[in-house]
Structure 1
Amino acid sequence: MKRLNSNQNLATIVIVHGAFEHAGRYQSLAESFRDDGFNVIYGDLPGQGSTEGKKGHIKKFEAYIDTVRKWLQIADSSRPVFLLGHSMGGTVVMRVMQELKPSVDGVILSSPAVGILNGASKSLEAVTHVMNKVWPSVLVKAPFKPEYVTRNPDVIANDKQDPLIIEKISIRWYKEFRKAIKKSLSEVGEFPNVPLLVMQAGEDYMVDSEKTKEWFHKVGCQEKTYKEWPGFYHEIFNEPEQENVYNFALNFINLQVKQAGKGEL
């Protein structure tokens, strides 16, 4: 787990990364938040990045939820706290909010994985169902290609040389992820009433944007905003126009901090 502290201490932002990747890919984003006065907590989820254990494998999705719970406990509760999740990290944040209902002042979801594209076929799903029982830790190739997630050539070049990006995932990981996605939709009513910002890539090759819209329209938050970025690929915070995305998120956070009355802007 990494922690960046700002002398201004306006609020704490907890960042949850997505599938196949790691917290190091959010270093620049975390530093930007820190420079704008916010503390930032972020780290590698179990089975990813530099964590111990088998890479690309988890026994239960709850391992992710428990990890984020621990990060939230570290945050300064005297100041506003925000959860920001990207892709699968968005699914994790959804499940954290639905199951734990933590006291946070706002949630930001970046291209959340409410539905995934290019998933297993029906015949392959049947095979994974069997394999999940007899050999759950067997690894299969992960559907991650840098060119599918961003139009930024620098990020693509770095990703192709990044040894921490996962190339294989386990059958159990896949099944647990799919189960969490289904729960995030079926238990949408359990999402607490907190300010919500959902930002979705307009040209997303990884997640189903229509499912994102479906979830957003069903969630019962009184204050919620849906922003689609036309032409953007999946990783909106890594796109060439990332400054616009950052400023949009920053404005949302600053507004909530002002309304919370716990910080000074």
Structure 2
Amino acid sequence: MWKWETEQQPKAVVVILHSAYEHHRWYAWLIEKFRSSHFHVVMGDLPGHGEQGKYTTYHDEDFKEYYKYTKVLLKVALEYNVPLFIVGNGLGAAIATYVLQNNKIECAGVVLASPWFNLKLAPGKLSNALSSFSAITSNVKLKHELEPHHLTRNTDVLMELKEQLPLKSMVTVKWYRDWQQMSRTIRNPELKFPDIPVLLMTGENDKVSDISTSKKWITEHTLSEFHYKQWKGCLHSLYFEVEREDVFKFTIDYINNVLRDLGYIIE
């Protein structure tokens, strides 16, 4: 993992969790935006991603590794002794939700961008059938037909990511089954999410995750404070989109309002 510290007095610390098949370098723009806005940033690569996934052709990580990794990131961030915010994108947003749902963590607020609570674009045409079969199918490989044009309309971002493509989006049935189990747990209305401020954002034209599931999830929980924002015309990865400056400003306004409610003076 890595730390990027603001040169000013920090308002808070932000932990960023990236989505599947990505790594932290994709988020250089977002990291610098937070840092220059007086926030420390802690981020790394999910297990099996980044340098760890450099020599592999598919993902077969146990999701327990993702949860353990996330808790380590949060522990490191809390050492700054300033309010902690989590910003998760795609799969990272779902992992953040699961970890907060199942652990007591001192978190001031969470931003969930296009969370993978339910997928429109799932790995493999037969994935739903295969994932219900016996353990014999666990190592069967599935192609997740996720392409850069599903993520953003921003040609500048696509050019920035050109050297880091194509996406390594081959997964095993076991990996997909783990995701299904996580998503079912998240969507279980009997399992309460902690009463912390939540900003959940989706793209109107998201072709990857099911935005109706995300909206249903946020309205089913009895939270004291939550905000739902659907960005008109946007695709899946809001922080990569043409409107990313506006998306970031919306995020910062939310975080600053939470900090004010906690008694911090925000200039």
Q: TM-score if structure 2 supplies the norm length?
A: 0.91
1:81 to 81, 84, 89: 84
Shift of 1:85: 0.6
Shift of 1:219: 1.8
Mark the runs of 5 or more structure 1 residues left unpaired by the alignment: none
Greater Cα shift, 250-259 or 52-61: 52-61
Greater Cα shift, 51-60 or 92-101: 51-60
Measured on the aligned residues, the alpha-carbon RMSD in Å equals 2.2
CA pair 263-119 structure 1, distance change in 2 beyond 3 A: same
Sequence identity, in percent? 28
Give CA deviations for 1:141-171 in whole Å, capped at 9, x if unaligned: 2221111110011222344431583231222
Q: Which residue of 2 aligns with 1:209?
A: 211
CA pair 255-154 structure 1, distance change in 2 beyond 3 A: same
Q: Is 1:93–2:96 an aligned residue pair?
A: yes
Q: Is 1:11–2:12 an aligned residue pair?
A: yes
Shift of 1:187: 5.0
CA pair 263-138 structure 1, distance change in 2 beyond 3 A: farther
Q: Is the 8 A contact 1:148 1:233 kept in 2?
A: yes
Tell me the SS of whatever aligns to 1:129.
coil
Give the partner amino acid of 2:71: R
Count of aligned residue pairs for this structure pair: 264
Mark the runs of 5 or more structure 2 residues left unpaired by the alignment: none
Distance 2:150 2:216 in 1: 23
Q: Is 1:126–2:132 an aligned residue pair?
A: no
Shift of 1:88: 0.8
CA pair 50-125 structure 1, distance change in 2 beyond 3 A: same
Give the partner amino acid of 2:211: S
Tell me the SS of whatever aligns to 1:13.
strand
Q: Which residue of 2 aligns with 1:2?
A: 2
Give CA deviations for 1:55-104 in whole Å, capped at 9, x if unaligned: 64344312111111001111135211001111111110110110113111
Q: Which residue of 2 aligns with 1:70?
A: 72
Distance 1:8 1:60 in 2: 38
Distance 1:92 1:194 in 2: 16
Per chain length, whose mean CA-contact separation is higher, i.e. which structure has more relative contact order (CA < 8 Å, sep 6+)?
A: 1
Distance 1:124 1:42 in 2: 31
Tell me the SS of whatever aligns to 1:50.
helix
Q: Which residue of 2 aligns with 1:155?
A: 157
Q: TM-score if structure 1 supplies the norm length?
A: 0.91
Distance 2:247 2:49 in 1: 26
